[in-house]
Amino acid sequence: MTEQAQIYLASRSPRRRELLQQIGLPFRSLTVAVDETAGENESAEVYVIRLALEKARAGWAQLGDDDERLPVLAADTAVVLDDGTILGQPADRAAGLDMLRQLSGRSHRVLTGLALVDDREATRLSVNTVSFRELDEGEIEAYWATGEPADKAGAYAIQGRGAVFVNHLEGSYSGVMGLPLYEVTDLLAEFDLDYRRSW
């Protein structure tokens, strides 16, 4: 990138990178690994914020003496059923098909936790509601066969083929994609960073 980076993004997600590029924010990427197991009786809201913080902290801890000490942004997204069940990324085909069956004909929440970390820490939470039309077994299996659901929370991508299942969205489209841009810019402002600098 020609512009000097303002942050690191601790994520392997191409969707999150695309969203930062969409608003013209120069960044560098970091790869981090954290245990994503939900705690016992941990609410979805606490879960996504905790994981976002753990990812951002891990990214900040990775930076060496030769690295530019820029704040580290991280996010975590979960699909949550009305009974509180958290749907992360499906472990395999059977899990993915089961998730899509559970989402069929009902509404669910998509929560994305954000964290920005340097010597300070700040978080935000994006809460969105998505409704699916009824899905038949043939289209569930055909959708899985595309490969798109395999690495997505809840086994679907609203920005991809999964959009055909969505009959209502209340909230942030970018939040459902995994990086709510309103909350991102709000965090940047808290750290005195101007996302418009490269415009």
**Among all residues, which ones are annotated catalytic?**
76
DSSP state of 126: E
Task: Give the pair of three-digit tokens for residue 95.
Answer: 């899990």
Task: Give the pair of three-digit tokens for residue 141.
Answer: 């299996």
The dihedral built from the CA positions of residue 61, 124, 36 and 131, taken in this order, carries a sign that is: negative
Could you tell me which of 17, 193, 49, 56 has the C-alpha nearest to residue 126? 49
Is 122 exposed, middle or buried (CB count within 10 Å of its CB: 0-12, 13-18, 19+)? Answer: middle
